[in-house]
A and B are shown apart, each in its own frame.
Chain A
Amino acid sequence: MRRILSILLENEPGSLSRIVGLFSQRAYNIDSLTVGTTDDHSLSRITITTMGDDRIVEQITKQVNKLVDVLKIIDLTEMAHIERELLLVKVFAQDETTRAAVTRVADVFQGAILDMGRHSYTLQLVASTEKIESFLDTLRHESDIIEVVRSGAVGIGRGDKALKA
């Protein structure tokens, strides 16, 4: 099943490569990975989505935790959490009918049109991965997709609980 893992680690050169290397070295897959610093600039936070049964995810969690740079790892899938992903998508929008249809889709999904060219619209959607998939499916009905950029999911636990140093 799909898992979303949150990792807090030292913001040092090479830290990210240790995480990515671990996944390839042990044949775990990475569906998406995002990384950025936290409010404490000495720490980075990585969100990884992966697939695996309980046994594999347990090993992934332990192996990541064993890396000396890693402070904490949690499996967000096991708790109430919020997940968001940013999508930027460029679609053909040459005639009025297509433009109107694309605009309607963006409205319904609460996306935004960020830019328009002579032949295209560029849209943004911030949503769960599932909603982004469905947004792209709907867009494909109305027009042809030229380019897709996705940030990968980021996630955070609900309520007062926090992943902190």
Chain B
Amino acid sequence: MSTTEYNGSELVVRALKELNVKYIFGYPGGSVLDLYDALFQQEDIEHILVRHEQAATHMADGYARATGEVGVVLATSGPGATNCVTGIATAYMDSIPMVVLSGQVPTGLIGDDAFQETDIVGCSRPIVKHSYNCRSAKDIPTILAKAFYLASTGRPGPVVVELPKDMLNPELKFPFEFPKTTELRTYNPNTKGHSKQIRKAVNAILEAKKLVIYSGGGIILSNTSEQLTHLVESLNAPITNTLMGLGGISGTHPNFIGMLGMHGSLEANKAMANADVILALGARFDDRVTNNVKKFCPNATIVHVDVDPTSISKTIKAHIPVVGCLKTVLEQLQTAIDKSPISIDRSAQEDWWRQIISWREQKCLSYSTDGDKIKPQAVIEAIYKATNGDAYISSDVGQHQMFAAQYYPFKHPRQWINSGGLGTMGFGLPAAMGVKLAFPDKESICVTGDGSIQMNIQELSTCLQYNLAVKVVSLNNRSLGMVRQWQDMMYSGRHSSSYMESLPDFVKLVESYGHVGIRVDHIDELQPAIEKAMSINDRLVFLDICVDEKEHVYPMQIKLGAVDDMWLRKGVKA
């Protein structure tokens, strides 16, 4: 038996190795210098030095979304920790597995308003799945094992671990005891759906005349895309995805009727409004989906499957709730469907599909190509073609995010990386960097705008340091497009603070960071520029594309209306 002893910092590193951590995204500072020293003296875990801690959280987040593994962040106490708050909230809203290690002043100084002291556990309490204060260094391996277990099981989410400086003291040594299994008596993530509920659900699904499957981020998180596709095909049901659920079934699948919600397709929202049974899988009836809850799908029986009971009947009452892990519940549903004596009313289903196809034929995503200005939609379509639809696409938040969701049909789960719940501008670039680190041979593209990119543009420096050859596609409309769109539609065109009068020369900027910048002003330049960008694989390429600033995102739900009350184009209602 080994009697080797380790100090707290070494315990952290050893535990992280035990947990198969390959990358830590962070920024050093006073309270965590001992831990940085321990990281320096090993080679298994690579530390990625960001330029701002918020970006560290988004990189870890992008890495987690693309791989399904836990993203790990390390920040110093005080400002280092508070800079992580937006990234933690982003991960929390989208249920992303993340562990944030935060420094803290020594335990003897806690509460004294010491230099760089912040109660980060208190600050982050509403936006974490759980948090730990470490008060005894020998507990570090157990705490980290629990943190990773919580972050990655059930409904995943971020966990904060606060490490006071004296816990990392190199002088105090302890044996390394890593728990073989991790269990918490207060935490049992539900795994199996109740058999009675499964039976009810299956009956409703098979007896439906107008069934719609509505699936969300839960499908991506639970790696159940194949099971979902099989279910859809065995029922021949129409399926819509939430913004977070895109890629859950291939965007090119014939049964896929597009994204639903605020900027969803007409056919998806119409199908929801007219459905008699809605099967919601790992989705949470967010307000950006439902529009006015009082008018939401009044005639539908709602079957709602989710691992988190709080998501069920929170905004929309579920008639048949099923609590359980999607992987197991989908298996249960499929088995019960395959065995059920009830046969689907195929003629009703044909009528239903005919109806949906007639909505689809209205081609709600068509846009005007008049004029010589570059349409943002056309840029996304060109990117789709150039990448054969196989690239990882990260986005920031705003019009470009919606255009990417609408015009890039994602073939695979985890291919679409965006801040759906919190809507965090500045997410895209660091997230794309996390993806590139995980999959260096794959194309990782950040679709952004001139507003969002400036919220974490300092990370271009990190890209150079680690040679992260991501592509940045900026739909530059010289304004905060989505804000401007709302001001056009709801504030009589008063563009209050949505206009950027002092944009930098992005090409020069990215060049000064050591990357390749390409400016595209004219439609004729678009295709060659994209081709040139795609031919460069060893350097970061930034495409600054000057797009039509007057373009709005359509279709768009009409405020306070039903799910299918939509503007199709300027002044044209569905």
- Residues on A close to B: CB < 8 A? 9-10, 13-14, 17-18, 21-22, 25, 55, 58-59, 62-63, 65-66, 68-71, 165
Contact = CB atoms under 8 A, between A and B. Distances in A.
Interface in B514-547: none
B310 A59 contact: yes
A88 B92 CA distance: 44
Contacts of A14: 121, 125, 131, 133
By Cβ-Cβ distance, the 8 closest A-B pairs, closest first, are A68-B130, A62-B310, A25-B126, A71-B186, A62-B309, A21-B125, A68-B187, A63-B310
Given A14-B125, A17-B125, A66-B308, 8 more contacts: A9-B186, A14-B133, A21-B125, A22-B126, A59-B310, A62-B310, A65-B309, A66-B310
B150 interface: yes
Interface string B117-157: 00001100110011101000000000000000010000000
Contact of B185 (A55, A58, A71): A71
A66 B189 CA distance: 9
B313 interface: yes
Given A59-B314, A62-B309, A63-B310, A68 B184 contact: yes
A55 B312 CA distance: 11
A66 B133 CA distance: 20
Nearest to A70: B186
24 contacts: A9-B186, A10-B186, A13-B133, A14-B125, A14-B131, A17-B125, A18-B125, A21-B125, A21-B126, A22-B126, A59-B310, A62-B309, A62-B310, A66-B309, A66-B310, A68-B129, A68-B150, A68-B186, A68-B187, A69-B130, A69-B186, A70-B186, A71-B185, A71-B186
B308 to A, nearest CB: 7
Residue in A9, A14, A21, A69 whose Cβ sees the most chain B Cβ within 10 Å: A14
- What secondary structure prevails in chain A residues at the interface with B? helix
- What secondary structure prevails in chain B residues at the interface with A? mixed
Nearest to A72: B186
Contacts of B131: 14
B294 to A, nearest CB: 14
Interface string B303-317: 000001110011000
Contacts, number: 37
A32 to B, nearest CB: 22
Interface string B167-199: 000000000000000001111000000000000
Interface in B280-324: 308-310, 313-314
A25 B89 CA distance: 14
A58 B311 CA distance: 11
Contacts of A66: 308-310
Contacts of B185: 71, 165
Contacts of A62: 309-310
A63 B309 CA distance: 8
Nearest to B317: A55
A62 B308 CA distance: 9
B212 to A, nearest CB: 25
Contacts of B308: 66
Nearest to B186: A71
